[in-house]
Structure 1
Amino acid sequence: MTDTTTEDQEIKKNVLSRMKRIEGQVRGIQGMVEAGKECEAILVQVRAVRSALQSANKLILKRYMLRCYADAMKEGADEKEALDKFIKVLTGFIEG
């Protein structure tokens, strides 16, 4: 089994790498719009960014569970309260 801290750091590194890549993709889209590229090509890139953000979101939620929820349990927090907070965070992303 992987050490939670090590896994947390790997997730953080992965998320930061993805965000830098996404930032580059968004700048590329801006350039495409400025250059008057075809809408279909721009939309393909927008879909790619959306997909990349969804993948990053999954990792961030996993990190939340590893850090926030797990830490709350270690500190003796009420399990239902901690779970309710996680559900609130999760549904906020689903609804948004």
Structure 2
Amino acid sequence: MESMYDAEAHVHSHDEHRRSHHSEKLKTDLITRLNRIEGQIRGIKGMIEKDTYCDHVLNQISAVQAALNSVGKLLLAGHMRSCVVERIQEGDLEVIDELLTTVNKLLK
């Protein structure tokens, strides 16, 4: 099974502008998920415009939050398997503090 995060394709420079290069499979999956979330957001907006019962709107908001969390988990896993591992192997231990900050933001 092909990895959704192609570690060999992931490259970053040693300057302040790090970039990640996701496998095409991962990019396609993320874009598909984000497009679906975008549609859900438009749907919620339409529900508000139509004065839909609040409980129904709140349930849709909950579904969007779960979908965003899923995207975040997918990106975090890929990040840890490649970027974080590479930087630790290079002796750059600052990545651990960076990762902890990011995880704390995701858990809010």
Q: TM-score range by the shorter chain?
A: 0.7 to 0.9
Which runs of structure 2 are paired with 1:1-96 in the superposition (5 Å)?
A: 2=2, 5=6, 8-9=22-23, 10-74=25-89, 76-78=90-92, 80-95=93-108
SS of structure 2 residue aligned to 1:61: helix
Count residues in correspondence: 92
Identity, in percent, stands at: 33
TM-score by structure 1 length? 0.77
Question: CA RMSD of the aligned region, Å?
Answer: 2.2
**Which is bigger in relative contact order (C-alpha 8 A, separation at least 6)?**
1
TM-score (norm: length of structure 2):
0.70
Question: Which residue is equivalent to 2:10?
Answer: none
Q: In 2, distance between residues paired with 1:81 and 1:63? A: 18
Unmatched segments (≥5 aa) in structure 1? none
Which whole-Å CA distance do the structure 2 matches of 1:19 and 1:39 have between them? Answer: 24
* Long gaps (5+) in structure 2: 8-21
